[in-house]
Amino acid sequence: MSTEVFVDESRRGLDYMLAAVSVEARDLKSARSTMRKMLLPGERRLHFSKETIRRRRDLLDRIAREEFSVEVLSCRASQNVARSLLLGAVVSRSGASLSRLVIESRDIDDVQDIRCLVRLRSTGLMGTDVIYDHVLPYEEPLLWVADAVAWAWGAGGDWRRRVEPIVTQTVRIEP
């Protein structure tokens, strides 16, 4: 069984979070289609920091009814340290089924992620057959799930409650 993992970030106060959405290869087409159906006419992507409160509620409720599996990982450290630690945890927790890691691009900061992933590969923590990509959010609908969950989890309260059905694990990493 081959799995692809889609990762996006959120920062709330001192906490840096990654939401990692795991989708089996056989379910990718259906999952992407489901997410594209949530777009409004003229939209190229979903982005939670830009949605209205009413639309956020609707989208989170719709996403939570799907069979997504999301891990939320967090760390209280500088962005660079936290991101490297959390990416390492995503890779190690994904195990042997990980075939592809898709990370929302942060432009110039992608270089840091690549260094981290090369280090993980060189130490044997990430298989040589694992593909990793940085993509723009409008190119990959499953990044929208990671964006939504990271945003909602960080916001807490009712927002967090709405995504709890698909959050399978929360992990706190200490630097």
Round to whole Å and give the CA distance between 48 and 29. Answer: 23
Digit-coded pLDDT (tens) for 159-168: 999 999 999 9
Digit-coded pLDDT (tens) for 31-45: 999 999 999 999 999
Question: What is the C-alpha end-to-end distance of the chain, expressed in Å?
Answer: 32
Enter the tokens of residue 117. Answer: 């992933």
Name the pTM for this structure: 0.96
CATH numbers and ranges of domains, the chain: 3-173 (3.30.420.10)
Round to whole Å and give the CA distance between 70 and 73. Answer: 10
Round to whole Å and give the CA distance between 87 and 52. Answer: 30
